Amino acid sequence: MSNSIKLAILGLGTVGTGVINLINDNLDELKRRSGRNIIITEVGTRRQRDDIDPDIIQNSDLMAIAASENVDIVIEVIGGTTLAKDVIMHAIKNGKHVVTANKALLAEYGNEIFAFAEANNVHVAYEAAVAGGIPIIKVMREALAANKIDWLAGIINGTGNFIMTEMRDKGRPFADVLNEAQELGYAEADPTFDVEGIDAAHKLALLASIAFGIPLQFDKVYCEGITGITLQDVNYAEELGYRIKHLGFAVRRDGQGDNNAAGIELRVHPTLIPQDALLANVNGVKNAVLVNSHPLGQTLYCGDGAGAGATASAVMADVMDLVRVLGSTDNDDQSSNNENNHGHHVPHLAFIPEQLSDTPILRAEQMTTGYYLRVHANDNPGVLADITRILSDAGINIDAILQKPAHKVGQVPVIILTLPVVESQMNLAIEKIEKLDTITDKVVRIRLDELA
């Protein structure tokens, strides 16, 4: 058994450099925990770096690094879904274990990548792909392995959480806060992936597969961004005892109750949650995931969801796991001969691949949530009665009503909170409300969840 584990880092941006710094800073600690010398032998970079140890080979040919006999584990932190996929598949083909922080790649191509890794008896680890330094992947794959997960809800995009926090705490409009987020480096020049929920949807697809033992199905995640959230709604929510957070939900539905379909809800959207809920008090760029499982109950995992230190921590946690796998296979004569033997490693999506379920993913109109409705109406007698009648006829129960002072002469905003209802029922009710002659604008709706 060689006493050294040789790493290649593909990409020397913020995360790749963070990994190098972590190894340099904690080298003795890593050796004490693993019993191995963990060394970087090669890095993939487009330009030569003067600040890299001269003993480390710098190479722009990523495919060559992925096949190098001088590498045991390939760390992919270049991002994207084209070159990154090709490099990872090439590394797997050449018997290399892989660590990646690439949530978009895994959400879209993870089923293919994991199957190829299984066939080649290597592992693809991806703790850093979801929620930065929070060890949520390890928790769900290992610590909660004996539990049945009923649902999870998460703040899994720090940019969106920063924007919603600033809007609430400082009364700033969305566009103003987004500009600051870009100046601070929290949001990209093109912030679409963050503010439209696509980044969170990638992460939710991974979490849901681990939670429920289903194949990755990013294309079936319902996705709604925060660009339409106004200070008006933020303030009304506060007045009613709620806060608006941009959340990802994965929920198992058993089909019981009127019009409820059995299946799994995968949804990312702005959500009203109670002010005293744990997730309501996770602010700034922090991430958090709340998991409800049986028999454990609710547990919250919170911390930095991005940044060099947090992501490097997650990358190296995966490396340490793989170091132990390499140690177990070195000491097990049968491991190298049995393509289905994974040493002491947990299956990629927590469940034995042959046991992944074909549980259906529910369509948006089949999902069940409570609702916040903001209706602008003429200040005429009987308007509120008309609205409540339409909701009642649709089988929608009202939890609270708030009528606010007129913003325009003769027009008043009416705020309604409903109990959970199937979305198709709410769609029909809103369509009828908007057809009333007394309604002056489109109905604003935001989903509501008590997280109970």
Please give the positions annotated as active site. Answer: 203
- Strands 368-378 and 398-403, sheet pairing: unpaired
Q: For the sheet containing 57-59, what is the strand order?
A: 57-59, 37-44, 4-10, 73-76, 97-100, 124-125
Q: What span, in angstroms and rounded, lies between the C-alpha atoms of 308 and 320? A: 18
- Among 177, 280, 274, which Cα is nearest to 227's? 177
Q: What span, in angstroms and rounded, lies between the C-alpha atoms of 154 and 204? A: 8
Helices (H), 120-197: 136-138, 158-170, 174-183, 192-195
CA 226 and chain centroid, separation:
16
What's at 106, amino acid-wise?
L
257: left (phi over 0), alpha (psi -120 to 50) or beta: left
Whether the link from the prior residue into 295 is cis, omega within 30° of 0, is yes
- Among 188, 292, 202, which Cα is nearest to 248's? 202
- Let me know if 46 is exposed, middle or buried by CB neighbors in 10 A (0-12, 13-18, 19+): exposed
CA-based max dimension of the chain? 84
Q: What span, in angstroms and rounded, lies between the C-alpha atoms of 197 and 377? A: 31
Q: For residue 266, which phi and psi values (nearest 5 degrees)?
A: -125, 110
Q: What span, in angstroms and rounded, lies between the C-alpha atoms of 153 and 451? A: 8
- Among 318, 360, 291, which Cα is nearest to 140's? 291
Q: What span, in angstroms and rounded, lies between the C-alpha atoms of 233 and 450? A: 18
Query: How many helical (H) and strand (E) elements, i.e. helices and strands, does the chain have?
Result: 14, 16
Q: What is the 3-state secondary structure (H, E, C) of 255-274?
A: CCCCCCCEEEEEEEEEEEEE
Q: What span, in angstroms and rounded, lies between the C-alpha atoms of 45 and 9? A: 9
